[in-house]
Amino acid sequence: MNRPRFCRWYRVIPLIAMFVLSVSTLVLYALRDSNTWKYFYPVKHEEIIVSACRRYDVDPYLAAAVIKCESNWDEKAVSHAGAQGLMQMMPATAEHLAKTGAVSAKRFDPRRLSEPEVNIEYGVCYLSMLAKQFSSRDEVIAAYNAGPTQVSAWKKDNETPIQKSITFAETGAYVTSVNQTYECYKRLYPQGIGHHD
């Protein structure tokens, strides 16, 4: 049985190529639009983030980047290790911050880590503590993922940048991801987190 003449390869391939080119052009055009990027890099709970960051002197872009990379803005997220909420706080870390008075346990009950206001308060406070302990954003991000003790061990040779000292592949990828996300948020929200242009 003969195929219809229209379906010959030399007629179909140019049509497929035109379709692929059209779709690619539409995708590239959409990706140039900042509103398209904002769909992939949203900001939620802006007032809570900005308020907590003011209290603890933390860059709101960093808090947003950590939330995006930790939970992708899923306040109900729970990791296999038991980290909870938007900033994937470990309950033991939240309890420690409450016991030391770094965070008011009366106002922010550490048992309610699935609540955005509570989770962000503890996560931002923890970022602030790490920023006081370490000298660079890369070190703070690495410590948020691997813990401050591990980052201190990696920092024994102060001449080597932390990125080159990290021996955990997951932490190295995490630092890169948070930094890239941080830059995306700065570019997409130039007036600051909470300002939608």
70 catalytically annotated: yes
Q: What is the token pair recorded at 122?
A: 């503890």
- Could you write out the three-class secondary structure of the chain? CCCCHHHCHHHHHHHHHHHHHHHHHHHHHHHHCHHHHHHHCCCCCHHHHHHHHHHHCCCHHHHHHHHHHHHCCCCCCECCCCCECCCCECHHHHHHHHHCCCCCCCCCCCCCCCCHHHHHHHHHHHHHHHHHHCCCHHHHHHHHHHCHHHHHHHCCCCCCCHHHHCCCHHHHHHHHHHHHHHHHHHHHCCCCCCCCC
Per the residue annotation, which of 46, 47, 70, 139 is the catalytic one? Answer: 70
Give strand pairing partners of 89: 84
**Contact criterion met (CB below 8 Å) for 133 and 148:** yes
How many Å apart are CA 77 and CA 60, to the nearest integer? 21
Catalytic residues: 70
